[in-house]
Amino acid sequence: MNRLLVIAYYTPPLGLSGVMRVTKLCKFLPDFGWEPVIITVKPVAYYASDPGLLADINRARIVRTGSLDPNRLLMIVQRLLRAEATPRVPRSISGRWLNSILVPDAKVGWLPFAIRAGRKAIQEFHPRAIFATAPPWTALVAGTRLSEESGLPFIADFRDPYPAGFGLPPVYQRPVLKKILKKITAQARQVLAVNSGTAAGIKRLLQPEPGPVIQILENGFDPDEFTVEPERLEGWALLYAGNLYENREQIAGLLDALARVPEVKFYLAGDTDPWSRKLLSANRQVVLLGRVKHSRVCALMKGADALLYLGKPGQPVGLKLYEYLGANRPVIVWGKETDEAAALVREFGAGLVCNEPVGFQQAVAEIQALGARFTEISRDRLNRRIQAHWLAELLNQTIIG
């Protein structure tokens, strides 16, 4: 079996969307002849955990390193103080402002540790290729360096738009971040992006140079997770699974829309900011379930009458929409018909799009009357097992080429 050196800061037992892509690819890659050797960080302070996901990477070799990044340092301080609970750094602390201070991002303190561990792993395990996934962009810098030193082919995977997610980096950082991107893409044998919007953003930054060919490896769903029994909820259940931090305008519009369909109960399985929580908890049609384990989220998705998708501002398509498609329940996208999320739902005939109360009322009525028609088209292209097979074939071609 070939071995693949995987560089990924976010891995289980950490939770949320940044963990899922690499976790699921590493889960299925051994089925297609590739054993992952994962270079990741030791426990860090983070605002979400899901230890159950560790089972998904039990066929991978895992090398955990130290780090001098803020999240790791906070964990070390906590242990020195002998506190019992694992600290969960507030989202505001672990957010974008740290990235505006450090280059290429707030995890640059992990770079020397990841490179050192990667060198050792290359000597010990003899991988045939290097795969690094970002954010953090520090992982791609580590992959670039290790590829330069070893001569191993390098695959750079962009899960979010470079270099600042769905915002813009400070002006003073932009020249150096562009230089880093050029070096990463010049070294990479293959460049992957999670969607066409992310790929287009990379191309724009590299202009006027043509840049590399960028292949799209979408997010997806793990079919094994949807073998759980559906968990039914009271009323005509509309579920949002995930955290809501940047959706105040959409939340206000949604609450107006809910008033038109009193039979609908809106369930939020996730966390939210204080302002939104106050607004939602005051509405009798809303039930806040709080943050729940991923396994229960899948059961809730399967048991809901419909699933609500609210994208972050500027986000083409969030991971949650792919999991909605895996749950095979009707989807209501709160957004514009021109959004990439709306296009994905239309492609699979999976639901309806609206962004105002009347459209929402019509969408609910149509799903109530014709719900089965929104689950007829196969979503196999988004199956994580099939995606891992595609990646294994790409790796096979890469090491031959």
DSSP one-letter string for 248-317: HHHHHHHHHHHTT-TTEEEEEES-B-HHHHHHHHT-TTEEE--S--HHHHHHHHHHSSEEEE-PPTT-S-
**Of 88, 154, 82, whose CA–CA distance to 122 is shortest?**
154
Of the spans 12-21, 50-59, 148-157, which averages the highest pLDDT? 148-157
Cis peptide before 70 (omega within 30 of 0): no
**Mean pLDDT, the chain, whole residue set:** 92
Q: Do the beta carbons of residue 122 and residue 128 sit within 8 Å?
A: no
Q: Which strand (E) or helix (H) includes residue 41? A: strand 34-41
> pLDDT tens digit string along 305-334?
999 999 876 676 888 999 999 999 999 999
Q: List strand residue ranges (DSSP E) for 129-235, in order.
A: 129-134, 154-158, 190-193, 214-216
| Position with higher pLDDT, 179 vs 243 | 179
Q: Flag whether pLDDT at 22 surpasses 70.
A: yes
Distance CA 73, CA 69 (A): 6
Number of Cα atoms under 13 Å in the Cβ half of residue 369: 6
* Residue partners of 151: CB distance under 8 A and separation at least 6: none
Burial 194-229 (b: 16+ CB within 10 A, else e): bbeebbebbbebbeeeebbebeebbbbbbeebbebe
Q: For strand 264-269 and strand 286-288, is the pairing parallel, antiparallel, or unpaired? A: parallel
Burial of 283 (0-12, 13-18, 19+ CB in 10 A): middle
Give me the amino acid identity at 250. Q
Residue found under tokens 């299925």: 28
Burial 346-375 (b: 16+ CB within 10 A, else e): eebebbbbbbebeebbebbebbeeeeeebb
For the chain, the 3-state helix, strand and coil shares in percent, each to the nearest 5, are 45, 15, 35
Distance CA 113, CA 110 (A): 5
Give me the amino acid identity at 103. V
Tell me, what's the pLDDT at 204? 95
Two tokens at 300?
């809730």
Q: Flag whether pLDDT at 94 surpasses 60.
A: no
Reported confidence tier of residue 95, pLDDT bands at 50, 70, 90: low
Q: Is the dihedral of CA 325, 331, 334, 335 positive or negative?
A: positive
Query: Coil, strand, or helix at residue 333?
Result: strand
Tell me, what's the pLDDT at 338? 82
pTM, entire model = 0.90
Distance CA 389, CA 157 (A): 16
Tell me, what's the pLDDT at 93? 46
Tell me, what's the pLDDT at 48? 79
| Position with higher pLDDT, 133 vs 291 | 133
Tell me, what's the pLDDT at 90? 52
Q: Flag whether pLDDT at 193 surpasses 80.
A: yes
> pLDDT tens digit string along 69-87?
988 888 888 777 765 555 5
Residue found under tokens 């201070």: 101
Q: Do the beta carbons of residue 98 and residue 90 sit within 8 Å?
A: no
Tell me, what's the pLDDT at 237? 98
Average pLDDT over residues 31-44: 97
**Of 134, 8, 22, whose CA–CA distance to 384 is shortest?**
22
